[in-house]
Each structure stands twice: as structure tokens, then as C-alpha cells.
């Protein structure tokens, strides 16, 4: 029952709930903020490159937070950077999503005890939708994280956010 093969035979009309349509549109073109922090960012860039091809999920890096739907926190969030991360998040238009990538931004990672300069988890400054574990996570893990986020968006409701 794919949409494409019926597009011309079934009178060119697709009937759907606006909720499903919006969710489908949103989850199919998650534009990310072109933003990387540390070694996880290298892995994120590898995910964007041709071998793993983030673009097939509609994920493309945007040079401005105002054009973005998702921010991937890819690396160690230092206290100095946390203020900037928060500002970037606030500059994004709603609806907006956050993927926390790697141990550092999940919980502080290896800096959890003696990292005088590290924020112990980016969820202390911005709300996180999906946590991707790993140090750094392989591109497959980040893709899995994105699929989880898509799953979450697919079940959202206009009336109330399911998050």
C-alpha cells in the first residue's frame, strides 16, 4: 500500500490526517544545525558523508540555527560552550529536537569526576530527545539515534506533544 505506486492509479488523491502528514513531513526532512564539538563531530561528519549518507534520511547541515529542526550535540560540552549551545538551541524555531551524541554530552563521559571545565550532561541546559551512547558512537549508532527520533516524531500529536 505504498503511496507512490498508487499515485496515478488511484485518482491522484491521498487522504491522510493532517497530524500524520505533518509528522511525516517533519521526520523526513530533519535539517540539522551545522555544529560539531569534539571527536564525536568527526563521526557525525562521517555519517553525513557518502558512505553512510545522512542525506537519505533528509538530514542536511544548515549554516544557521534559524533554518534547522535538530541539533546534534556531538562532543564534550564545556561550561564555556554550554552557554553558546543553549543560545543556539534558543535560536532554533519550533518544533525543534535535540540528539545528544556520545558519553560526554550524555553525562560528562570520562570527565565526569575530574573535569573541572565540563558540563556533566547537556541535558542540564537543554532538553534532550534522544541519547546516543558510545565514545564516540559509530555512524550506525547515530543513524539508529536518528531513527529513534523519527519514531518519536511519527507518534507526536498536534494537540499535545508526546515527548
Residues near another protein (CB under 8 A): 79-80, 82-83, 107-108, 112-113, 116-117, 119-120, 124-125
- d(CA 19, CA 24) in angstroms, rounded, equals 8
**What is the SS3 assignment for 51-66?**
CCCHHHHCCCEECCHH
- d(CA 59, CA 31) in angstroms, rounded, equals 5
Q: Which is nearer to another protein, 87 or 161 (CB)?
A: 87
In whole angstroms, how close is the CB of 57 to another protein at the nearest point? Answer: 32
Q: Which is nearer to another protein, 94 or 113 (CB)?
A: 113
Residue matched to cell numbers 549518507: 53
In whole angstroms, how close is the CB of 108 to another protein at the nearest point? Answer: 6
In whole angstroms, how close is the CB of 119 to another protein at the nearest point? Answer: 6
In whole angstroms, how close is the CB of 98 to another protein at the nearest point? Answer: 16
Q: Which is nearer to another protein, 83 or 158 (CB)?
A: 83
Distance of CA 23 to the CA centre of its chain: 15
Q: Which is nearer to another protein, 117 or 154 (CB)?
A: 117
For residues 30 and 54, is the Cβ–Cβ distance under 8 A?
Answer: no
Nearest CA to 130 out of 118, 122, 119, 138 is that of 122
Q: Which is nearer to another protein, 62 or 120 (CB)?
A: 120
Q: Which residues touch 123 (CB under 8 Å, ≥6 apart)? A: 100
In whole angstroms, how close is the CB of 80 to another protein at the nearest point? Answer: 4
Amino acid at each position: 500500500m505504498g503511496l507512490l505506486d498508487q499515485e496515478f492509479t488511484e485518482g491522484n488523491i491521498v487522504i491522510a490526517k493532517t497530524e500524520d502528514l505533518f509528522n511525516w513531513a517533519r521526520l523526513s526532512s530533519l535539517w540539522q544545525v551545522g555544529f560539531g564539538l569534539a571527536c564525536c563531530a568527526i563521526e557525525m561528519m562521517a555519517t553525513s558523508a557518502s558512505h553512510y549518507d545522512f542525506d537519505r534520511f533528509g538530514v542536511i547541515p544548515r549554516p544557521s540555527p534559524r533554518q534547522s529542526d535538530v541539533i546534534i550535540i556531538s562532543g564534550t560540552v564545556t561550561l564555556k560552550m554550554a552557554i553558546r549551545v543553549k543560545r543556539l538551541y534558543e535560536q532554533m524555531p519550533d518544533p525543534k529536537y535535540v540528539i545528544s551524541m556520545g558519553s560526554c554530552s550524555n553525562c560528562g563521559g570520562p570527565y565526569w569526576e575530574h573535569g573541572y571545565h565540563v558540563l556533566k550532561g547537556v541535558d542540564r541546559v537543554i532538553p534532550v530527545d534522544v541519547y546516543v551512547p558510545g565514545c564516540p558512537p559509530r555512524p550506525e549508532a547515530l543513524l539508529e539515534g536518528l531513527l529513534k527520533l523519527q519514531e518519536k516524531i511519527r507518534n507526536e500529536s498536534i494537540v499535545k506533544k508526546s515527548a
